[in-house]
Structure 1
Amino acid sequence: MLLFWSILTVCCFVATSLPSETSKFDFVMKELDSLRHDFQVKYERLEAENTNLKRELASVKSKRLLLGNTNAGSETTIGFYARRRQNGVLGVQQTIEFDHVHENHGNGYDPRHGHFIAPISGLYEFSTTILAGSDNGIHCEMVKNVGYSVEIVNGESSEISKVDFIMKELGTLRHDFNDLHSKYENLEAENMNLKRELDSAKNKRQLSEAIGFYARRKPSGTLGAQQTIEFEHVHENHGNGYDSLQGHFTAPVSGLYQFSTTIYSMDNYGVHCEMVKNGQNLGQLLAPVPGYASSTLNVVIYLSVGDQVWVRHLGSASEHLNANDYSSFSGFLISL
């Protein structure tokens, strides 16, 4: 701090005793710019270190299970799944509210406005499915932070002497240095805390067994009413939660899961299916006539140990599923 203020004091002395010659004026301005640049570089390096520490800490936290706290992590689980009940005409750039909320961990989703607001910084995945009317198409988009802020500042310039200009620059420089020095000290303290927290998280980390599966269906054919669809061609089954003989996934641990299924219809046929949790509907998907069409459903849902999720036929017994590895079912644990 003493060295910092001594630099400013010397600068002020040089400025007040400066002759008006252009060469000396340019020299002082160059020195001022050099001082500002050097301090800015130091601050940016510290800021980059701060960003890397936060990223590394978030990565460690996202992978760990704290010892003795495996049922409920100290971090807040964030995830939501909502559906829309009402059909109707959409206005220009109308926000679509999905008012039927199944899960809303972390309370980030607002069904009244249809917005998800991130409660913490991090990497997120979002998915949406829309189904058009029989005679109409529909065009939608997913957006982030729609809104723009424009600031216009008008000002007038005036002729000032070179010495007055330098004094004004010194005042600005003093303010900039004070501001940067305050931010620098705050970042140093924050980085120290982040390093301690990162070391603590690494020391206490216990990586859990990965839980997730991905399976496809090989045989095509006619589906019976409410027939469970077995996806018997299993590619991955970490944690052994998926039973290819029954077509059911059984949660080995409680937590927030994501599931996805894709169905593919035969020529001249449509197919209508649903995903269920313990027999209760989570969402529907329709691959319509004239066939060779696909439909995908993504669901985020909290499961307790022993809860089951599967895909079953929802239409009449005359519908046909085109499998041949086109239709699939997958899921994975997001967070405990």
Structure 2
Amino acid sequence: MFILQHLPIVCLVLSGQICVVSSLCSSKLENSLFDDLIGMMLKLKGSGHGGQGNTSTQKDTPAFTAYRNSIQSLSSNAVVKFDKLWTNTMNAYDVSTGVFTAPLPGLYHFSAVVMSEDGKTLFLHLWHNDTKTAGSYTQGDGYKTGTFDVVLTLKKGDRIYIRCKGGHDSQNIFSNGDNYGTFSGYLLVK
């Protein structure tokens, strides 16, 4: 991709195709047009109109969304178990353990929302195998939500899970029929 800084021309090279946009518009509008062009080129690339395309199907792409609709009491280092599923292609998330195991290597996106009980502290980490990554700490009056949002490169068999911080017993994940606790992940790129 080439962008000429001082000229009102933007060149885009994507899979052998060249597009040139010339305008005298503002940089904000020019950036928006550029983003639209990239989106169109990527759609063309994947549509069978001359590009290689993405030949994977929904059932061979790892993706899950798990949730809780009840309180979970956590002891020190306990794994949060999002025990209900909306999506679980390739059965990579295990509701009995709370662990996602990568069935394929690649770049993955994970996100989670957790809620503390009214006025209680909740201290959690997202783990990649035996290494903690992002943390979430909620404290104060009322119900508080903590979030995780990470992109990680995984090998086949790598494990991702959310665990209570060590030394912090008697914490609870709050949820009820409104499903306040969710955990999702999916393969971005192989």
| Alignment TM-score, normalising by the size of structure 2 | 0.71
What is the identity, as a one-letter code, of the residue corresponding to 2:88? N
Please list, as runs of the form range in 1=range in 2, the aligned pairs for 1:228-307 lying within 5 A after superposition: 228-307=79-158
Q: Which runs of 5+ in 1 are unaligned?
A: 1-45, 65-196
What is the identity, as a one-letter code, of the residue corresponding to 1:206? T
Once the two structures are superposed, residues 192-246 of structure 1 have per-residue CA deviations (whole angstroms, 9 ceiling, x without a partner) of xxxxx951525xx523433211111122143100101110111111222111111
* More helix by percentage: 1
Partner Cα distance (2:103, 2:173) in 1:
30
Give the secondary structure class of the aligned counterpart of 2:168.
Answer: coil
Partner Cα distance (1:54, 1:248) in 2:
36
Please list, as runs of the form range in 1=range in 2, the aligned pairs for 1:183-222 lying within 5 A after superposition: 198-201=49-52, 206-208=55-57, 209-222=60-73
Q: 1:333 to 1:201 in 2, by over 3 A?
A: same
Q: Identify the match of residue 74 of structure 2 among 188, 212, 223.
A: 223
Q: Identify the match of residue 174 of structure 2 among 322, 329, 333.
A: 322
Q: 1:239 to 1:60 in 2, by over 3 A?
A: farther
What is the identity, as a one-letter code, of the residue corresponding to 2:43? S
Report runs of 4+ in structure 1 exceeding 6 Å deviation. none
Partner Cα distance (2:51, 2:73) in 1:
57
Which position in structure 1 is the counterpart of 2:187? 333
Q: 1:266 to 1:275 in 2, by over 3 A?
A: same
Give the secondary structure class of the aligned counterpart of 2:43.
Answer: helix
Give the secondary structure class of the aligned counterpart of 2:50.
Answer: helix
Partner Cα distance (1:221, 1:233) in 2:
13
Once the two structures are superposed, residues 223-278 of structure 1 have per-residue CA deviations (whole angstroms, 9 ceiling, x without a partner) of 10010111011111122211111110011111000101111011121111110011
Partner Cα distance (2:188, 2:104) in 1:
11
Q: Larger radius of gyration, structure 1 or 2?
A: 1
Which position in structure 2 is the counterpart of 1:58? 42
Count of residues in Structure 1 that have an aligned counterpart in Structure 2: 154
Backbone CA RMSD of aligned residues? 2.6
**Shift of the alpha carbon at 1:53?**
7.9
Give the secondary structure class of the aligned counterpart of 2:52.
Answer: helix
User: Are the equivalent residues in 2 in contact too, given 1:222–1:317 (CA < 8 A)?
Assistant: no
Partner Cα distance (2:125, 2:39) in 1:
38
Give the secondary structure class of the aligned counterpart of 1:219.
Answer: coil
**Shift of the alpha carbon at 1:58?**
1.4
User: Are the equivalent residues in 2 in contact too, given 1:229–1:311 (CA < 8 A)?
Assistant: yes
| Alignment TM-score, normalising by the size of structure 1 | 0.42
Once the two structures are superposed, residues 53-83 of structure 1 have per-residue CA deviations (whole angstroms, 9 ceiling, x without a partner) of 864441254x59xxxxxxxxxxxxxxxxxxx
Partner Cα distance (2:38, 2:111) in 1:
31
Please list, as runs of the form range in 1=range in 2, the aligned pairs for 1:1-336 lying within 5 A after superposition: 55-61=39-45, 198-201=49-52, 206-208=55-57, 209-314=60-165, 316-324=168-176, 325-336=179-190
Q: Which runs of 5+ in 2 are unaligned?
A: 1-19, 23-33
* More strand by percentage: 2
User: Are the equivalent residues in 2 in contact too, given 1:60–1:201 (CA < 8 A)?
Assistant: no
Partner Cα distance (2:50, 2:91) in 1:
33
User: Are the equivalent residues in 1 in contact too, given 2:65–2:85 (CA < 8 A)?
Assistant: yes
Which position in structure 2 is the counterpart of 1:182? none
Partner Cα distance (2:131, 2:124) in 1:
13
